[in-house]
Amino acid sequence: MTDLRLLPSVDQLLQTRQAAELIASHGRPLVLESIRLTLSEIRSSSPDLDSLPDLPEILSLASARLAVWTSPSLIPVINATGVVLHTNLGRAPLSAEAVQAAASVSRGYSNLEYDLNQGRRGSRQSSVEDLLTHLTGAEAALVVNNNAGAVLLALSALARRRRVIISRTQLVEIGGGFRIPEVMSQSGARLVEVGTTNRVHLSDYESALQEPAALVLRAHPSNFRIVGFASEPTLGELVDLAHRSGVPVVDDLGSGALLETARFGLAHEPMVQESISLGVDLVCFSGDKLLGGPQAGIITGRADLVAALRRHPLARALRADKLCLAALSATLLHYLKDEAERAIPIWQMISKTPEQNQARAHHWAELLGTGEVIPGQSTVGGGSLPGETQPTFLLAIKSSHPNRLMSRMRAQRPPIVARVENDLVVLDPRTVLPEEEGALLVGLQNALQEA
């Protein structure tokens, strides 16, 4: 039996040195709340206790609670999966310059909407627009919060209550609940499906264009591929046909690469410049997929259409913030300076040779004194280049309980996320940033020792 009258009071606990230290780092209200909660828990579980915790024990329980309350829930993670654009791990890591740009405009004030030459209100997007039009060859550009927002805005501004023609091969669902038919209905556009699941002909579009339409939508089937008896007209044919009826074409490119992926032994991912030069009227793509920048939705194309989008109320609701615009400008600048491959993390990763990954995996095995280096495959991920892999080398660690080792790796700070393949825990050097290597090895060592 325990005598609850022996439990120290809140005031007694607050007067200790330990509590003073907690108050100094966490503030009095939070410390008070954690002590109260700890005491009430002890009271309710007291019938099962042999003895009551003493004063230091109560404070350390309260302190543990405070640590959980005040630790940030969004923290850096080491991605050793070999999936370059890992949606669950935050997609594209930013370049040092992009991080620096976002930090420097967020510390103080900036000329976000201020024209420094004229000394009056200016546009928040003018510099990023210049970069985008220069890089893609488009007349105009607009940046919103993400690509789902970009597509919604384009459809809402250009096609509300009007017909939008799209092939049944392209009625796609991207991860995270983005489904073309649902975005279409949200925008108020009327979906006109043409063709079949596997095949669509130019004549299918031609019949649909007999009646007035607001636009033809092309959605890049980013995360899957139709193989076998499948065909589609080329984008160029589609643009020519639509333009003969005076109907604009909007291309939801998804990833929107500015660099040629075939250079790295991957399939060709459609590029923004290609769509623009084929005469597409608006191209929508993400900022944090193969562009390698911050989360953003980018719309480039005809000046009159971009202007219509900019005037729509949704543009204000979906507008990009200054951190995003600063990081995006810095990322685009890498392309402009022809240094994307060496300055942007995702391109550094994609351009690594198997031999470079092999040497790093060997280095890790040596330092850890365990593990074997085996050949494997990395993927681009993030709804780009489905089914495409790049040869790599993996550090493979044998463990009697691979999933238990994985969970110990995730419990490290920073957490390490890897893969299990054929009962081996495998780590792909491709997606581990050079500056993370020290923490990776310490974390792995700890996780292995706990085994």
Interface with ligand PLP by CB under 6 A: which residues? 146-148, 151, 174, 178, 219-220, 222, 252, 254-255, 286, 297, 383
Helix (H, G, I), strand (E, B) or coil at 375: strand
Pairing type for strands 163-167 and 190-194 reads: parallel
Among 109, 131, 142, 139, residue whose Cα is nearest residue 322: 109
Q: Which residue lies nearer to ligand PLP by CB, 58 or 148?
A: 148
Nearer to ligand PLP, 255 or 329 (CB): 255
Least distance in Å: CB of 153 to ligand PLP?
Answer: 12
Tell me the closest approach of the beta carbon of residue 180 to ligand PLP, in angstroms. Answer: 8
Nearest residue to ligand PLP on Cβ basis: 254
Nearest to 2 by CA among 53, 47, 56, 40: 47
Based on CB atoms, which residue is closest to ligand PLP, 254 or 429? 254
At closest approach, how far in Å is the CB of 221 from ligand PLP?
7
Token output for 258: 């500015």
C-beta separation of 168 from 141 below 8 A: no
Q: What's the closest the beta carbon of residue 145 comes to ligand PLP, in angstroms?
A: 8
Give 143 or 151: the residue with its C-beta nearer to ligand PLP: 151
Neighbours of 127 (CB within 10 A): 17
d(CA 86, CA 144): 22
Q: Give the DSSP per-residue string, 107-157.
A: HS---TTEETTTTEE--TTHHHHHHHHHHH--SEEEEES-HHHHHHHHHHH
Rounded to 10 deg, the angle between the 437-449 and 354-368 helix axes is: 50
In whole angstroms, what is the distance from residue 252 CA to residue 153 CA? 12
Tell whether omega for the bond before 414 is within 30 degrees of 0, i.e. cis.
Answer: yes
Looking at the Cβ atoms of 8 and 270, the one nearer to ligand PLP is 270
Instruction: Label the pairing between strands 424-427 and 178-179.
Output: unpaired
Q: Closer CB to ligand PLP, residue 80 or residue 174?
A: 174
CB-nearer residue toward ligand PLP: 43 or 268: 268
Query: Nearer Cβ to ligand PLP, position 178 or 335?
Result: 178
10 Å Cβ neighbour count for 144?
28
State which residue, 291 or 416, has the beta carbon closest to ligand PLP.
291
CB of 315 to ligand PLP, least distance (A): 16
Beta strands in 154-248 (DSSP E): 163-167, 173-174, 178-179, 190-194, 215-219
In the complex, least distance from residue 175 CB atom to ligand PLP, rounded to whole angstroms:
7
DSSP letter at 165? E
Task: Tell me the closest approach of the beta carbon of residue 195 to ligand PLP, in angstroms.
Answer: 18
3: tokens are 């005598």
The least CB distance from residue 204 to ligand PLP, in Å, is: 21
* Min CB(256)–ligand PLP separation in Å: 9
The residue type at 19:
A
Q: What is the C-alpha to C-alpha distance for residues 193 and 37, in angstroms, rounded to an integer?
A: 59
CB of 142 to ligand PLP, least distance (A): 14
373, 395 contact by CB (below 8 A): yes
Q: Which is nearer to ligand PLP, 346 or 427 (CB)?
A: 346
Residue listed under structure tokens 């022996």: 6
> Quick check: helix, strand or coil at residue 36?
helix
Helix, strand or coil, per DSSP, at residue 78: strand
CA distance 96 to 435: 12
Could you tell me the smallest distance in angstroms from the CB atom of residue 85 to ligand PLP?
A: 10
Smallest gap from Cβ 281 to ligand PLP, in A, equals 17
Tokens of 170: 């392209």
Q: Which lies closer to ligand PLP via its Cβ, residue 284 or residue 361?
A: 284
CA distance 385 to 377: 14
166 in Cβ contact with 204 (< 8 Å): no
Identity of the residue, 186 or 403, whose beta carbon is nearer to ligand PLP in the bound complex: 186
